Amino acid sequence: MKVVIIGAGFAGMKLARSLNNKAGFDVLLIDKFNFHQFQPLFYQVATSSLDASNISFPLRKAFHDSKNVRIRLTKVLGIVQDEHKITTELGDIEYDILVIASGADTNFFGNKKLIEYAFPMKSTVEAIQLRHRLIENFENVVGCATEEEKQKLMTIVIVGGGPTGVELGGAIAEMKRYTLPHDYPEIDFSTMKIYLLEGTGATLGPMSKKSQEQSQKYLEKLGVTVRLNTILKDYDGSVATLSTGETIETSTVIWAAGIMGNVPDGIDPSLIVRGNRIKVDRFSKVIGQDNIYALGDVAYMETPRYPKGHPQVANVAISQAKNLANNLRRIEMRSNAATLEEFEYQDKGSMATVGRNLAVVDIPKPRLHFGGFFAWLIWMFLHLILILGVKNKLIVFINWIYSYMTYDQSLRLIFKVFYRPRTPQEETRYIKT
């Protein structure tokens, strides 16, 4: 059975590893990058707490001893369902089973100015770009001529009060409190402003009311100005216009307000629902298809417990991949179709960290809530478990201990990329590929 997996995120990696060295399967894992990205810690890369390599794991290393899993780095151009193949920049690839695990990207809701000027954070590269912007802002403040321009550089607006926005706001506030005054003694950081805009009436909307209230309290304690029921209407790279009519002069807007599924061309538009997600049945099979499946953030599955679809979180993607791997093994062994298992997500809880010793954790069964230091320890432990690679786990843990003891991050570096002209031979090779 030739299984082609599009995407090496949580779902794609889990499925490939579950089928690794299993008899009867030939697996091809396709991604644009040659590494798996641990998305929950992007904000720590953006705020100089972790290096990008700490939360990235080489795909080929994960399958060093594999006899049946191969990797291809390319961009998928489309799906040709009738011919059971996909088209890519490397050419056509045929499949017996196709699994779309392409994840999600930033949703700017069609606002072209935000696409141009706001900073998203849905990849390691984007997190590094944001880190560079934050550090460059303070370097520019040192040599700034006017107070107005200084204030604009020292004002940061974060849009979206979900886990990403809350965690990023807390991390930047801690940089302001503990780290930046030592780096830039000539700057008065009491004038630095951090805004968190949330369109609903609470931060961490899907979590419990206690978690919502505590997260807002923690953010405000750290010096973040939280604006609820407030939407960013426009941003021109210099002035942010809010739904309240207020304007904020800022050079940095960070967009963490929405995501949309990465749906390849070739999927029936009638199957694409809100959030740009593909409708699938309880077996993760795309509606109306016999051999195309979708997992994780790009999949929309209705179940009795989740009639409006599952939350777009890592645990859902991993659980769906496990379920599909088991079902594919049953199909490969030609078991009775009745033995296939429908998917139902068992929610183990949700969590978010706001800062040093500050986090919130909700556990559904038994219904429990934790806040503060103990919740922060739970958050760290569970994230360490999910990171791929023993070395990565160890390095991340050491970085966390170092930061906790020293109140410092050691990765405030700006890397400039300089391109040399291609030789004629390189130019010819580039055009051919």
Closest by Cα among 47, 24, 55 to 384? 55
| Token output for 165 | 């926005």
- Which residue in 83, 136, 139, 167 is the catalytic one? 167
To the query of whether residue 167 is one of the catalytic residues in this protein, the response is: yes
Long-range contacts of 353-356 (CB under 8 A, 24+ apart): 353/167, 353/170, 353/379, 353/380, 354/166, 354/167, 354/169, 354/170, 354/215, 354/218, 354/219, 354/222, 355/170, 355/171, 355/173, 355/174, 355/218, 355/222, 356/174, 356/404
CB 75 within 8 Å of CB 88 = yes
Residue position matching structure tokens 């593909």: 278
According to the 3-state scheme, what is the secondary structure of 180-192?
Answer: HHHHCCCCCHHHC
Distance of alpha carbon 87 from alpha carbon 30, whole angstroms: 12
Distance of alpha carbon 99 from alpha carbon 285, whole angstroms: 9
Residue position matching structure tokens 């958050």: 379
Closest by Cα among 314, 285, 281, 283 to 297? 314
Q: Which sign does the torsion angle of CA 374, 377, 379, 385 carry?
A: negative
Which residues are known catalytic residues? 167
